[in-house]
Structure 1
Amino acid sequence: MKKHIVKIKSIGFINYNVLQIVTEKPRNYDFEPGQATEIAINQKDWKEEKRPFTFTNLPRENDLQFTIKVYPSHDGVTEKLSKLKIGNELILGEVFGAIQFKGKGTFLAGGAGVTPFIAIFKSLEYQNEMNHNSLIFANKTEKDIFLKQEFETLLGSRFMNILSEEETQKYPTGHIDKDFLKSTIADFSQYFYVCGPPEMTKSVTEDLKSLGVAAEKIVIEDYD
């Protein structure tokens, strides 16, 4: 597998636990909105510690952007990434990913699973095709919702949140389950894009099928 070494051009937190990194873009390095690559840190003891991260900018742009949830308790790659500075180097692998836009629909994301949708939404906005798409974003608490203003600008009332570990007056409490889907969605003939932890992806997919959604209308990807 070919490797590409790139320098960090900007790095900083956009939420208390979400990091945004912009890097150089290798020549002829192409991707589709929703796709990802494996990233390692070009430092001793870290070069083989590869993790998958999604591109969150448009393919036509001259740089690459990654939006990464940091897990300090893991003492791993994301924590190490958060300590890097402009000029440090990353090692990129080849492009991969199953989530690609097939038609208007509802995007169902759990936590960091929203990241493949970011570039898709930017692409749809660029093409003036954001209408009739919606996002349901599941998080533990309200402070875990990141890029809230951007999603509200893009989607308006078609951006919904649900919290599993906090009760607020603004958002429903619970999970994206069968009852929630029935009460929230009127059209089950549209596409459904699902990305989140494997157990969430599995349960939501089963619920969608039980509600009559055809298998070919469900686009899924697990995000650990």
Structure 2
Amino acid sequence: MTNKLAITSIVDITHDVRQFTFEKPQGFSYEPGQAAEVGIDKDGWRDAGNPFTFTSLPAWDELQFTIKIYPSHDGLTEQIGQLTQGDSFIVGDAWGTIEYKGKGTFIAGGAGVTPFIAILRMLADRGELSGHRLIFANKTEADIILREEFDAMDGLETVYVLSKEDKDGFEHGRIDKDFLKAHISDFNQHFYVCGPDAMVESINDALKDLGADADGLVFEE
């Protein structure tokens, strides 16, 4: 089943990430971390079927997507970047394999943080963030999505990694086996991993090499 949802607000989160909000249809349900197949109400794009993750919480009265726009890709996100309030998305039912399974470390690359936004907001609302950590890799400081919100979450430890800038207060480089070994002392925990496919595969392999239980790795399969 699909729903035609008119955009009620658009907010710029970073220089290339926008937050789109919609009124939630009656009876629409999903869990934090889940996504939906999305098109837009525009000729040639209604059946686009790109997956985007809900960054709103199920209890909210509205739905929200936080989307990185790629103007040069000549694809759906380029088209989404041209939309204005009142335009509509075509949104399918919720699906996805990223779900909260217990205390652990969230490891994200760029827009791969989006499945974790609703999960971390849920834990913040419950007052259950203590003992969780977010390791978030980006090219530059300006690319960090919702940094102020993450930093303000009581109990969440944040580690930001920049690959193209070497700045005080940030780790520099990439999240690889050596980085994980240096920054994680306990591999007997859940690890939530999301980002480009090659990054997810590399990190999952490194975590298992370092002693993490394969059943404790949560990622989109």
TM-score over 0.5 (shorter chain): yes
Following TM superposition, where does structure 1 have runs of at least 4 consecutive aligned residues deviating by more than 3 angstroms? none
The CA distance in 2 between the partners of 1:113 and 1:155, in whole Å, is: 22
- Paired residue secondary structure (2:159): strand
Residue number in structure 1 paired with 2:186: 187
Residue number in structure 2 paired with 1:14: 13
The percent identity for this pair of structures is: 49
Q: How many residues align?
A: 221
Question: Which piece of structure 1 moves more, 60-69 or 74-83?
Answer: 74-83
2:101–2:190 contact (8 Å) kept in structure 1? yes
Instruction: Say yes or no: does 1:35 pair with 2:34.
Output: yes
- Paired residue secondary structure (2:13): strand
For structure 2, which runs of at least 5 residues remain unmatched after alignment? none
Residue deviations 1:63-106 (CA, integer Å, cap 9, x gap): 10100011111022112112111111110011111110000000
Instruction: Say yes or no: does 1:105 pair with 2:80.
Output: no
Task: Report the AA paired with residue 132 of structure 2.
Answer: N
**Distance apart, 1:142 and its partner CA:** 1.4
Residue number in structure 1 paired with 2:4: 5
Question: Which piece of structure 1 moves more, 29-38 or 39-48?
Answer: 39-48
- Paired residue secondary structure (1:115): helix
The CA distance in 2 between the partners of 1:11 and 1:82, in whole Å, is: 10
Task: Report the AA paired with residue 205 of structure 2.
Answer: E
**Distance apart, 1:155 and its partner CA:** 5.2
**Distance apart, 1:25 and its partner CA:** 1.1
Instruction: Say yes or no: does 1:70 pair with 2:87.
Output: no
Residue number in structure 2 paired with 1:175: 174
Task: Report the AA paired with residue 176 of structure 1.
Answer: I
**Distance apart, 1:216 and its partner CA:** 0.8
Q: Structure 2 matches for 1:121-136, cutoff 5 A?
A: 121-136=120-135
Instruction: Say yes or no: does 1:213 pair with 2:215.
Output: no
Query: CA, structure 1 residues 97+86, in 2 after alignment: closer, same or farther (shift >3 Å)?
Result: same
Q: CA RMSD in A?
A: 1.2
Q: Structure 2 matches for 1:124-163, cutoff 5 A?
A: 124-154=123-153, 158-163=157-162
Residue deviations 1:124-159 (CA, integer Å, cap 9, x gap): 111111111110000111111121110101156710
- Paired residue secondary structure (2:59): coil
1:6–1:24 contact (8 Å) kept in structure 2? yes
1:134–1:155 contact (8 Å) kept in structure 2? no
**Distance apart, 1:205 and its partner CA:** 0.2
- Paired residue secondary structure (1:15): coil
- Paired residue secondary structure (1:200): helix
The CA distance in 2 between the partners of 1:75 and 1:178, in whole Å, is: 35
For structure 1, which runs of at least 5 residues remain unmatched after alignment? none
Task: Report the AA paired with residue 218 of structure 1.
Answer: L
Give me the TM-score of the superposition, normalised by structure 2.
0.96
Task: Report the AA paired with residue 170 of structure 1.
Answer: G
Question: Which piece of structure 1 moves more, 114-123 or 178-187?
Answer: 178-187
Residue number in structure 2 paired with 1:197: 196
The CA distance in 2 between the partners of 1:182 and 1:44, in whole Å, is: 50
**Distance apart, 1:50 and its partner CA:** 2.1
